[in-house]
Amino acid sequence: MEDMVSIALLFLIVIITVGIVIGISNPIIQTTIKSSDVSSAENDLNFINNYIRTVANEGEGSTRAFNFNSPKTFSSIPGEDAVQFLVEKTSFIDYLTRSVSGNLIYVAGSNVNCQETDGNGDNETDLVAENDKIKVSFRKVNGNIDTTNLLLEALQKTNGEKIYVGNFSVIINDDSSSAKGTGYTEISNSGKNLPLCQIHAYVNSTVDYDVYYKLYSGADFIVVEVRHIR
């Protein structure tokens, strides 16, 4: 259970690459500056992470006021349980790649669209995540929920091939009934030209849990995380 809880403390560093040449006069110096900015942001984010863990270890109901000052500009994304730091025009990380170090995720690129659509003419609303490689559609639900059929289809954009998934169920503790229940699905953070799209499903079944479906820039696959099992 500790592993599931720790995943919820996700800090996201978003590095958007928009060019190969960093500076005209002295690109080496500019690269050094950007590297220093990221290193400083890493230290600040790790400090916040450690502070949260300290309070969490004090037990349920523990609270503490925290005044945080940093010369860097951070933004919070509550729906994704993330704090974001953005650097533009950097070349020390490959474009459209990502890496994970502890609770830090580095994403280079912002070519993901995350939005609701009218579906396929069936008067229902779909939750759609799309980048340059794939497009995936999830069912919008509020009420009875079945993880088996939440993923409607996936489109491989390179060759235009549609993939229909027969069973995409989430089962907890080998209990097949936990795949169904009541709950809802939602987009955590809608928009265009994002580093990732996250679609959240809450399921109230024999146990309660949350499922997060994520599509990152440049990825041709979906990352699925199950958290908050209770």
Query: Which of 73, 108, 143 lies at the terminal end of a domain, its last residue?
Result: 108
Helix (H, G, I), strand (E, B) or coil at 191: strand
Residue 89 or 206, more confident? 206
- What is the count of structural domains for the chain? 2
Residue 168 has pLDDT above 90, yes or no: no
Looking at the structure, do residues 56 and 15 belong to the same domain, yes or no?
yes
Same domain, 58 and 157: no
Residues 122 and 221 in one domain: yes
pLDDT at 43 over 90: no
Q: What is the pLDDT of residue 96?
A: 78
Q: pLDDT tens-digit profile of 194-226?
A: 888 999 999 999 999 999 999 998 899 999 999
Final residue belonging to a domain, choices 108, 142, 173: 108
pLDDT at 91: 62
pLDDT digits 0-9 by tens, 49-78: 888 788 888 887 888 777 767 766 777 777
Hey, which residues does 135 pair with through a beta bridge? Answer: 130, 155
Give me the chain's average pLDDT, please. 78
223 and 119 within one domain: yes
Query: Is the model more confident about 137 or about 72?
Result: 137
Q: Which of 130, 135, 137 is nearest to 114 (CA)?
A: 130
Same structural domain, 162 and 182:
yes
Domain closes at, from 53, 75, 108? 108
**Beta carbons within 10 angstroms of residue 105's beta carbon:** 20
Domain range for residue 72? 2-108
pLDDT at res. 53: 82
Spell out the residues 6+ positions from residue 155 whose beta carbon is closer than 8 angstroms to its own. 134, 135, 136, 161, 162, 163
Q: Are residues 204 and 139 in the same domain?
A: yes
Does 100 lie in the same domain as 25? yes
92, 190: one domain? no
Considering the domain architecture, whether residues 22 and 100 belong to the same structural domain is answered as yes
At 44, which helix (H) or strand (E)? Answer: helix 27-56
Mean pLDDT of 98-118: 85
pLDDT confidence of 121, banded at 50, 70, 90? Answer: low
Q: In the predicted model, what is the mean pLDDT of residues 179-202? A: 93
How confident is residue 120, by pLDDT bands cut at 50, 70 and 90? Answer: low
Residues 116 and 221 in one domain: yes
Residue 133 and residue 209 in one domain: yes
Residues 129 and 153 in one domain: yes
Please, are residues 161 and 179 in contact by the beta-carbon 8 Å criterion?
Answer: no
